Structure 1
Amino acid sequence: MRVPLPALLGGSALLLLLLRWRRRRALWRKVAEAQERQERSLVRMEAAARRFREQHPSVNMVSILSLPLPELSKKLRDGSLPPDHVFYAYVGKALQIATETNCITEFLQESETQLRKAKLMEKQGLLYGVPVSIKDSIDCQGHDSTLGFIKNLNKPAAEDSVVVQVLKRQGAIPFVKTNVPQSLISYDCKNLIFGQTCNPLLYTRTPGGSSGGEGALVGGGGSILGIGTDVGGSLRFPAAFCGICAIKPTGNRLSKRGVMAGVVGQKAVAAAVGPLAKDVESLALCLRALLSEDMFSLDSTVPPLPFNEEVYSSTKPLRVGYYETDFFTMPSPAMRRAVRETKQLLEEAGHTLVPFELTNVDCVVFSYCVRGMFADGGRSFVKKFEGEMEKGGTGLLFWLAKAPHWLKTLLSWIAKPFVPRFSSIVRSMKENTVDEVWSLHHEIEDFCHQFIAQWKKLNLDVMLCPMLGPAFGIGYPAKLSVAVSYTMLYNALDFPAGVVPVTLVTDEDEEELKGYKGYYQDWWDRTLVKAFRGSVGMPVAVQCVALPWQEELCLRFMKEVETLSLKKNSFF
């Protein structure tokens, strides 16, 4: 008997709906299991911290948590502070911050075993006994690196990433993994598995991303040292938004083996692994520990450049380039004031400040960064989302990556007279030939050499730059992908860049914001002013930059900025 065509089509449609429902149900089950694991982790942390407090009621947790990393590390190594006192003080504090901000995805239970071994071993390593938090995307043996994707659940890493191996060899104790935005290509911090992470300073604000869980945990005092990654500002946004310090090294100064990337294989925009901490000296201590023989022997692609103590400890006056704006993203009043006040402090301290003229940032953002990261038209980026239930957090980029070439061309042409930035971003998302990709890489190399030539013509040591801030409200980063211009420039150039908080938003800054128009006066500029509003009391940072492989000079400059700002202000 022949089945009527309408009945056949109806049956097929019903079958497809049933299969789709079953697949989604299976995905939700995986999400629920992951959330239960997260909850169990927090319960284990609570039980461990409570057990220690009951057994050691006289231990002053507050005094331990108040110690800066260099002093804490010294006390651990000389034996005046037992490692279990430090470990459980931070487990307890991390639990509190996780409850408030949802920044921790998993407690690394083997950290307690490592702690017991540390108590028995002869003290060694610069980070002996120091609890360290690790970003989700950095492999820890036996644990998932999800990047916020459901498909990556229940796929534990076979071994530790090189950076985690080196941390352990230096005596550090990785104890938690922290939340990230789905795909990492966002400077908010939300995914369908673990949800939204909040800023510890103001819960309605984003902590930044993609190392947002790290920013929230370190910024809230639940970790004394965190390890994250940066491909467009992913260390610097969380640090600036949460009022702490971070450094993005030159891309290959620290090993990226075992570190998962948001866009795999692209070489146009350099990614980097780096630390976040409350102060610059803590960042320097971390790099001293990581830039060891262990790093170079475990990953021979990393140049064997140990930490240069002489450069970091130098007191020679610096010749500092500076600019207040990149003429692409208009700085908020607080951003501009942060640069001006820091410039004045540096001049009063005997340093020479030289104006630096920044040009063609729109070309860097669109032609180099967006086009370089999505050189295949965004196909590999879209592929990462296959089978996922949510594509949030990436906003316009995901939609454009999915759009066919003819639609991108048409949209770019129609939009050019009215919204030129939108037109440029659409045009930059087209699929490139191999020849075009090679030409692009050559253009980026030329741009880098031109930038360095301008730097050397002015005989600069370092550069003082604005850093986007204050922290946006949750959800705004997805609407403001173009606002990464201040940070992404130094990924395209592959220069080391760090952030240091220097001031807080004032009532005067908020009042000045009423006159904010932006350089393009388009939808992005109108949205940006809304994102800046209502931020009185929130921290604002500056960016400190050096030439490639000069992390120690970058840190030395950051330390100078930090010291001068602390002398002037008493809010940190």
Structure 2
Amino acid sequence: MYTSSLSSLQRCNLVAWQDVVAEKRRRQKAAIPNEWLIPPIEQGRTNVLDIPISCGLLSPQEAEITTTSDVYLLLGKLARGEWSAVDVTTAFCKRAVIAHQLTNCLTEIFIEEAIQRANELDDFYKKNATVVGPLHGLPISLKDQFRVKGHEASMGYVAWLGQVAEDDSALVKLLRQSGAVFYVKTNVPQTLMWGETHNNVFGRTCNPHNLAFTPAGSSGGEAALLAFHGSILGVGSDVGGSIRNPSHFCGVYGFKPSSRRVPTYGIVNSLDGQDAIATIAGPMSTSLSGIKTFMQSVLAAKPWRVDPDVIFKPWDDAGYALKEHGEGYKLCFGLIWDDGIVKPHPPVMRALECAKRALENAGHVLIDWVPHKHAELIANARSTFLADGGADYAAALISGEPMIHSMKLDADPNDIPEFRKPREPLTAYQLWQLHKERRELRKEYFDHWQATEDVTGTGRPVDAIICPVSPYAAVPHGEKRSAVYTLVWNTLDCPSLVLPVTRADSAIDTQVLPHEFRNLDDQAVYELYDPECFHGLPVGLQVVGYRGEEEATIAMAELVDAALAT
């Protein structure tokens, strides 16, 4: 799957790992056309979202193209020939490069290759008066994990630099066949298993809403790029919240399907082979139409033919029509105000209130959801991820680069927090006990869900759950804590879609009196909140569906989104 004239390990034996990184950064910078470079921003500026328009690099048409949020609208213009694939690709390449200069969100940049692909699509359109596929001419950005033929997928590890993919990963192959154009890959944290985005190869990614804040992780580069409109549709991955937390922090849409519906074969990964709680690929977009378009296109391409783990389940029109959910009439949503582990900040509580009010006004019913053994579900997942005793990370750090133990800007590299200290690996038998425990916890949870049929008033169990993505909006670098509100749905393997709801407002979201703290995380989260510090940051919510109901979850998220917009 990879080729290299001189392996990264060989090079690191000859030169220091820092020199290998310096060479990679030189190559990355050389991939940006000189005429697309912008001046440094003024010192102290934090929000940089208006710079793509104000910097003068984009033409009026390129500005119009890249400020288009609706994927349906953009694909329609491409299909009608109103915008060429070259025009659209060039516009997003430019805006992505601007985003990178301000937020450090990219890893691989291949502009010339993207323009060549767009030219081929335009030629096909001229000759055949039709499109190649449902994604004809659409630029799609990719998290660094996804292999693209001819390019690296180092995932922020020095030892993996210089390894060039001989073939596309399965999902990239399907998207390419559907007409997509690939132009950039996006930054991730070292090891992926972090809620922020920083590594020794590419450095730290910042949130364009406030550069002093993190875009979360591990799909943080993807979310920062989308927030900047340097992409309209991207692909992330999620094993504990890595699509959903960045989407929430950056104010975009993100979807984690259930496992085995979207192909992951051929990606690079941490904890590769740990399939009990699977790494799941999913879309991130500036619109809900992007989420639906991605899922429809991927499933129409028959992904079970290219990934042996994908189940045979085409797009379900009946599921999307909510045939099992009253056809969308008078749905009942379970609302999680507080999971009992970490109490959310005031802006998140207000987002929940907004959703409740909007849905009730639209004729739906909401009941308070009682979280069932969330702490046990989260503990099970964490123990599963740590079962190897750190062997996976150690194997990837053979270049000599140090393990990053903190995302703080002024972190002491010798200060190792308790959760990063090596643990004794579990035996196979001990790991099997975790698998058995998770099976029983899942059974209990889904029994708990089905039992709500007695209280919904619809004759059905709760149709979907609405809950926080995180107890806070985006946080300053180094302050991201546990992913309790997302990880539970990975353990249960439920589809979950994040949609933007509101923004933190210091005039409304004042600090509340302290409550009785449940744990150290709960206390730290409470003490972190400062209404002025968080002012203006995006706040999203999750719409969580029953396991395997991707299409219904998307449809219900559309209903929630529409209700919030009225």
Same-fold status (TM-score > 0.5): yes
Q: TM-score with structure 2 length normalisation?
A: 0.85
Does residue 244 (structure 1) correspond to residue 252 (structure 2)? The answer is yes
2-structure distance, mates of 1:546, 1:110: 39
Which deviates more, 486-495 or 73-82? 73-82
Task: Tell me the alpha carbon deviations over residues 199-237 of structure 1, each in whole angstroms, 9 at most, x when there is no partner.
Answer: 011111101110111000001111010101001110001
Does residue 257 (structure 1) correspond to residue 257 (structure 2)? The answer is no
Residue 525 of structure 1 and its aligned partner are, at CA, apart by: 2.6
Q: Secondary structure at the match of 1:229?
A: strand
Query: Is the Cα contact below 8 Å between 2:345 and 2:529 reproduced in 1?
Result: no
Q: Which amino acid aligns with 2:66?
A: L
Residue 25 of structure 1 and its aligned partner are, at CA, apart by: 4.3
User: What does residue range 179-190 of structure 1 map to in structure 2 within 5 Å?
Assistant: 179-190=187-198
Does residue 231 (structure 1) correspond to residue 230 (structure 2)? The answer is no
Residue 307 of structure 1 and its aligned partner are, at CA, apart by: 1.8
Residue 258 of structure 1 and its aligned partner are, at CA, apart by: 1.2
Tell me which residue corresponds to 1:6. none
Tell me which residue corresponds to 1:69. 71
Greater helix share, structure number:
1
2-structure distance, mates of 1:388, 1:57: 42
Tell me which residue corresponds to 2:365. 352
Residue 282 of structure 1 and its aligned partner are, at CA, apart by: 1.3
Which deviates more, 218-227 or 118-127? 118-127
Tell me which residue corresponds to 1:550. 549
2-structure distance, mates of 1:262, 1:87: 31
1-structure distance, mates of 2:463, 2:108: 42
- Provide runs of 4+ in structure 1 moved above 4 Å: 22-25, 56-59, 393-396, 425-430
Tell me which residue corresponds to 1:28. 18
Task: Tell me the alpha carbon deviations over residues 165-222 of structure 1, each in whole angstroms, 9 at most, x when there is no partner.
Answer: 1111110101101111111111111111111111011111101110111000001111
1-structure distance, mates of 2:311, 2:80: 32
Query: Is the Cα contact below 8 Å between 1:205 and 1:473 reproduced in 2?
Result: yes
Query: Is the Cα contact below 8 Å between 2:121 and 2:132 reproduced in 1?
Result: no
User: What does residue range 459-474 of structure 1 map to in structure 2 within 5 Å?
Assistant: 459-468=461-470, 469-474=472-477
Query: Is the Cα contact below 8 Å between 1:496 and 1:549 reproduced in 2?
Result: yes
Tell me which residue corresponds to 1:519. 517
Tell me which residue corresponds to 2:50. none
Residue 460 of structure 1 and its aligned partner are, at CA, apart by: 1.5
Q: Secondary structure at the match of 2:16?
A: helix
Query: Is the Cα contact below 8 Å between 2:117 and 2:181 reproduced in 1?
Result: yes
Query: Is the Cα contact below 8 Å between 2:359 and 2:564 reproduced in 1?
Result: no
| 1:116 alignment partner, one of 114, 119, 122 | 119
Tell me which residue corresponds to 2:438. 444
Distance 1:527 1:460, change over 3 A: closer
Tell me which residue corresponds to 1:86. 88
| 1:369 alignment partner, one of 378, 381, 384 | 381
2-structure distance, mates of 1:102, 1:58: 23
Task: Tell me the alpha carbon deviations over residues 73-95 of structure 1, each in whole angstroms, 9 at most, x when there is no partner.
Answer: 01111222211111111111111
Q: Secondary structure at the match of 1:251?
A: coil
Q: Which amino acid aligns with 1:376?
A: D
Q: How many residues align?
A: 510
1-structure distance, mates of 2:399, 2:377: 33
Query: Is the Cα contact below 8 Å between 2:407 and 2:478 reproduced in 1?
Result: no
Gaps of 5+ in 1: 1-21, 48-55, 397-401, 412-421, 568-572
Q: Secondary structure at the match of 2:118?
A: helix
1-structure distance, mates of 2:180, 2:193: 29
Which deviates more, 168-177 or 379-388? 379-388
Tell me which residue corresponds to 1:382. 394
Q: TM-score with structure 1 length normalisation?
A: 0.84
1-structure distance, mates of 2:503, 2:60: 34
Residue 44 of structure 1 and its aligned partner are, at CA, apart by: 6.8
Residue 395 of structure 1 and its aligned partner are, at CA, apart by: 7.1
Tell me which residue corresponds to 2:429. 435
| 1:143 alignment partner, one of 138, 143, 151 | 151
1-structure distance, mates of 2:79, 2:516: 52
Query: Is the Cα contact below 8 Å between 2:108 and 2:152 reproduced in 1?
Result: no
Residue 99 of structure 1 and its aligned partner are, at CA, apart by: 1.1
Distance 1:524 1:386, change over 3 A: farther
Residue 509 of structure 1 and its aligned partner are, at CA, apart by: 5.4
User: In percent, how many aligned pairs have the same letter?
Assistant: 28
Q: Secondary structure at the match of 1:449?
A: helix
Q: Which amino acid aligns with 2:549?
A: Q
Tell me which residue corresponds to 1:266. 274
Q: Secondary structure at the match of 2:31?
A: helix
Distance 1:114 1:333, change over 3 A: same
Tell me which residue corresponds to 1:530. 528
- Larger of the two Rg values belongs to structure: 1
Task: Tell me the alpha carbon deviations over residues 24-59 of structure 1, each in whole angstroms, 9 at most, x when there is no partner.
Answer: 943122101110111012227839xxxxxxxx9986
Q: Which amino acid aligns with 1:26?
A: A
Task: Tell me the alpha carbon deviations over residues 240-262 of structure 1, each in whole angstroms, 9 at most, x when there is no partner.
Answer: 00000000011211011111222
Residue 369 of structure 1 and its aligned partner are, at CA, apart by: 1.2
Tell me which residue corresponds to 1:16. none
Q: Secondary structure at the match of 1:42?
A: coil
